[in-house]
Amino acid sequence: MAFKGKPPGSGSGEMSRRTQALRPAIALTPQEAAKARSLRRRGEAPEAIASHFGVPIEEVEKALVQMRSPRPESTRGTLNVTLAAHRFVMGERQGDEPLWQTIDRLLDELIRLRAEAARSGAARRRRAAGEADDLLPGLLPERSTG
């Protein structure tokens, strides 16, 4: 099946011009700002980075403020399911538990219920086979009693 949508443009994924315009001017080139961020990630102090580039510390701080840092706990979760499944999962949440906990709890319950169903189904089949022996003694091989 062919893709019928419009493919992303050449500038997709880049920062919007509006966001760039709202950011303060920095005395570092974009490459230098990226290098300053990488130096900071390696543990360099802002003062050392400023002396490395020969610019005031305020300029380095402007570049460092724009750094992305990992969040210890995400503030939102994504559930990539249909809307009906999403409503179901959200309805199963207990209080404000994280989505991963709700999903884990639902999957644990599903696994436990399937195991119980398999055990009861096996017992039902064994009983049915025993009843068939009693109901149709001539059709099944005779058992030796010993």
Q: What is the pLDDT of residue 111?
A: 92
Residue 47 has pLDDT above 60, yes or no: yes
Q: What is the pLDDT of residue 143?
A: 54
- The mean predicted confidence, pLDDT, of the chain is 80
Q: What is the pLDDT of residue 53?
A: 93
Which two tokens mark 59?
Answer: 């300029």
Report the alpha-carbon distance of residue 37 to residue 31 in Å, rounded: 10
* Residues 60-104 pLDDT 10s: 998 888 777 666 666 566 777 888 888 899 999 999 888 888 888
Which residue, chain included where needed, has tokens 């068939």?
A: 132
* Residues 24-36 pLDDT 10s: 888 899 899 999 9
**Predicted confidence band of residue 3 (pLDDT cuts 50, 70, 90):** very low
| Residue 50 and residue 42 in contact, taking contact as beta carbons nearer than 8 Å | no
Alpha helical stretches, state H, 1-146: 17-22, 30-41, 46-53, 57-65, 83-92, 99-135
Using alpha carbons, select from 93, 41, 91 the residue that is nearest to residue 63. 41
60, part of any domain: yes
In the chain, the number of structural domains is: 2
One-letter amino acid for residue 128 of the chain: A
- Across the range 44-51, mean pLDDT stands at 94
Q: What is the pLDDT of residue 45?
A: 93
Helix pair 46-53, 57-65: axis angle to 10 deg: 120
Q: What is the pLDDT of residue 50?
A: 94
142, part of any domain: no
Report the alpha-carbon distance of residue 114 to residue 125 in Å, rounded: 16
52, part of any domain: yes
Q: Residue 105 sits in which domain range?
A: 95-135
CA atoms within 13 A on the CB side of 93: 14
**What does pTM read for this prediction?**
0.40
123, part of any domain: yes
**Predicted confidence band of residue 49 (pLDDT cuts 50, 70, 90):** very high
Using alpha carbons, select from 87, 82, 43 the residue that is nearest to residue 64. 43
84, part of any domain: no
- Across the range 126-142, mean pLDDT stands at 61
